[in-house]
Chain A
Amino acid sequence: MYRAPIFRLCEITGLRVDRTGERLIRANAVAAVVAFLTAVVGALLLVLTRWQTVHLLPAEWYYRILTLHGVNALIFWIVFFEIAGLYFGSTIVLNSPFCAPKTGWFAFGLTVAGFLLTNAMILSGQADVLMTSYVPLQAHPLYYLGIILFALGALVGVFLFFGNLMVARQAGMYGATLPLFTYGLAAAAIIAVITLVSGAIIYVPTLLWAMGVLPKLDAALYKLVWWGLGHPAQQINVSAMVAVWYLAAYLTVGGMSVNERISRIAFLLYILFICLASAHHLLTDPAVSSVWKVWNTSYAMYLAVLASMIHAFAVPASIEAAQRARGYTRGLFQWLAKAPWGNPTFSATVLAIIGFGFIGGITGVIYGMEQTNIIVHNTLGIPGHFKGTVVLGTTLTFMGITYYLIPLVFRRRIVGMGLARLQPWMFAIGIALLAVSMIGLGVLGVPRRHWDIGFSMAPFRHSFPAVADLLWVLFALGGLMAVLGALLWIGIVVASVFFGPRLQGAEDMPLPIATPVRTQHSSTGKFVAPGTFVLTLVFLATFLVFFWLNWKWLAAAWEVR
């Protein structure tokens, strides 16, 4: 049944806001924060357990909380936030109504039911299988059902996003193509469909197997298809995160992509080439050949890597070009020095770009090569890598953009703006320290997902080099600092959303929306962002050093063929 949308006019952006859509965005964002809090509490317990000077949790609870942390951080928090983002980008940004609000609430109900059921099963000790739940490890059927419900709700949400786009298109809200931010979200949504379908293909048989209907599931087949969910799911994050980077560059300094065509091609590369990147989770596995591994990691992954490298230039370049157009043209880096560092969205975005590239990106590419994977597979270096991508990259980016979304969507002022300016730094430095020490421990061979590397009850003991003790202290320091930064963000968000002073008008907007600067460049012989160009070359040099180190370490290992 058609319902006439009720709009309010936003005096800050001049956009028409569909109130029903806005309520759905709020609900999903609140659920995201609840999931994030769960993940952060888990993270605190895990840091204090793996740092064996404290060794807080008993073994059983360590593996249980590890499952809880993984599922909430990597799935619930991020997907809830992304659904809120998809709704935002397809309604408010496009000046357009929400296509089917009742279905939107139905989808929200499914995701919340899945969230509650999954967490209940984990905490009641009936799903100590870690996030990956590798068969033949078996959880209670209701655990798998919880995940399926959540994925189903998310899938409905993604289709509502497409519905919103259709409504906006028919109403002529955008011309030939979408705004870049929504375009990036659309890429994320398309990857989400592929991902969630892979998830259904593997979780439905697993549920049937757990119920005893199917007698057996092949362990290698499970891992292959599961990563068809597990890896592209992170690519949804990457795509959504990059879309938010472009949005943040626009809001904070008025930056616009220096070349829309290149930025869009890069998003297209994500859609086309990311799916088989799941292959790099099977590089040291039997059942698949080297030809399969090399082809599927490089053909698919490197074109996706290329996409990220393109954005790595394009996003900072958009900031640099806007700053230069404002007159900050002295030297290579005046544009960066004179950037609005006091704006937490800006600092969060820049820190996320650096962290994602230098920590997550470099390790990701090198660890994802067939042979170097031998010396890192399942070591602590792997979670070290994705602390760089998913936490320092995606999570910090999402945190940063909330400082605009709270006033714009929740119509509240930010409580504790001084602390908010500090928060991205605290979280970023904490996670960076945590990730780098984990990568270092991984080099020493310390396993991930392990309760006792003192091996006190094992038949044979192993001691790691003494430098590991120092790295564990840094690990704990970084972990605790990141937890504090995360709790600070949650505190600011909750205080602002529920108790913050209501926004009365445009003058209450706590962070300015920069006026866009049109940066025309017509000749191809010009540099639009020389500072960024130099920074990307520094990145490349760092990459080559780490590349060389890892292959040297590999060459020192036993021979194997």
Chain B
Amino acid sequence: MSLQPPAEGWYETPVARDERSWVAVATVVCLCLYVWMIGWHIYGRQNPSSISYRIEPAEYMQLHTAWVPRYQIGEENGVPVVAPPPGSDVFLLGQMWRWAPVLVLQKGQEYTFHLASVDLLHGFSLQPVNMNFMVYPGYDYVLRFRPTETGEFTVMCNEFCGIGHHMMTGKIYVVENAAELEQLRQRFQAPQQ
């Protein structure tokens, strides 16, 4: 009786069979969810990393600008195109309102991504794969990605970062092999010659 204090003996009232069963089932479900998350860390292949470093935005900017020319193969829509070797570090930069650089990756190879912002919070949203991670100023988020499919992918920003938020997009190409990489290299070099 929700408007009056409960009747005498309410605390001792036995729990009905259906309610008892439901509470038991619900408890088991909750415990399974907990174990499932731990299990996915062992058996699953999509887990957020626990690696992150504090880094001043200016320092990250230096790392990024020193890294880009090392593997740059050209430019697309005014954004440098970089093809880092498999297994290497990738210093992706989130900045109002662009993602830099455009990346060319190889399928099945692992890359150590560093995600950081130099101004506000941004949201790294890889589409249409639909993988989403937060990008902070002051933190380097280290995520080791292994693309499992080839194609053209968009990186959009899905954390509000001011009036130009909706214009903040970037691009990732995933190629099958070295021959395809060479084709892309020629395509992006062409306009600059």
Contact = CB atoms under 8 A, between A and B. Distances in A.
B2 A286 contact: no
B95 to A, nearest CB: 13
B155 to A, nearest CB: 8
A367 to B, nearest CB: 11
Contact of B79 (A306, A459, A518): A459
Given A59-B166, A291-B50, A260 B10 contact: yes
Contact-residue size bin, chain B (C-beta under 8 Å from the other chain): 35 or more
B139 A369 contact: no
Contacts of A317: 18-19
A203 to B, nearest CB: 18
B49 interface: yes
B183 interface: no
A495 to B, nearest CB: 28
Contact of B134 (A137, A174, A286, A523): A286
Among B46, B102, B161, find the residue whose CB has the most chain A CB atoms closer than 10 A: B46
A298 B13 CA distance: 30
Contacts of B130: 375, 379, 443-445, 553, 557
A291 B51 CA distance: 12
Contacts of A176: 5
B33 interface: yes
A365 B138 CA distance: 30
A290 B47 contact: yes
Interface stretch (B61-69, B167-175, B184-192): B167-175
B2 A302 contact: no
A378 B170 CA distance: 17
Contacts of B110: 559
Contacts of A460: 77, 102, 154, 169-171
Contact of B48 (A136, A283, A451): A283
A284 B10 contact: no
Contact of A303 (B23, B30, B145, B157): B30
A247 interface: yes
Contacts of A282: 134
A527 B47 contact: no
Nearest to A533: B18
A195 B144 CA distance: 36
Contacts of A175: 5
A459 B77 contact: yes
A558 B146 contact: yes
B17 A179 contact: no
B37 A371 contact: yes
A179 B138 contact: no
A95 B121 CA distance: 51
A532 interface: yes
A455 B167 contact: yes
Contact of B3 (A93, A299, A521): A93
A286 B49 CA distance: 8
Interface in B27-75: 27, 29-31, 33-34, 36-38, 40-41, 44-50, 52
Interface stretch (A26-34, A250-258, A386-394): A250-258
B106 interface: no
B16 interface: yes
A491 B13 CA distance: 45
Given A305-B30, A377-B133, A526 B158 contact: no
B77 A532 contact: no
A260 to B, nearest CB: 4
Given A179-B4, A462-B169, A533-B22, A294 B37 contact: yes
B136 A284 contact: no
B158 A370 contact: no
A378 B15 contact: no
Nearest to B30: A302
B166 A525 contact: no
Contacts of A247: 2-3
Given A287-B139, A462-B169, A555-B45, A258 B145 contact: no
Given A305-B30, A462-B156, A540-B25, A313 B167 contact: no
A524 B169 CA distance: 61
Nearest to A133: B160
Given A261-B10, A313-B19, A379 B47 contact: no
A529 B131 contact: no
Contact of A136 (B115, B131, B137): B137
Contact of A525 (B2, B17, B133, B146): B17
A134 B120 CA distance: 8
Contacts of B123: 377-378, 447
A56 interface: no
A378 B158 contact: yes
Nearest to B119: A136
Contacts of B137: 136, 219
Given A282-B134, A557-B46, 9 more contacts: A60-B163, A256-B2, A310-B26, A313-B18, A313-B22, A370-B40, A375-B131, A447-B156, A560-B45
10 contacts: A137-B162, A219-B139, A286-B140, A287-B139, A302-B33, A374-B132, A378-B123, A445-B127, A458-B167, A536-B22
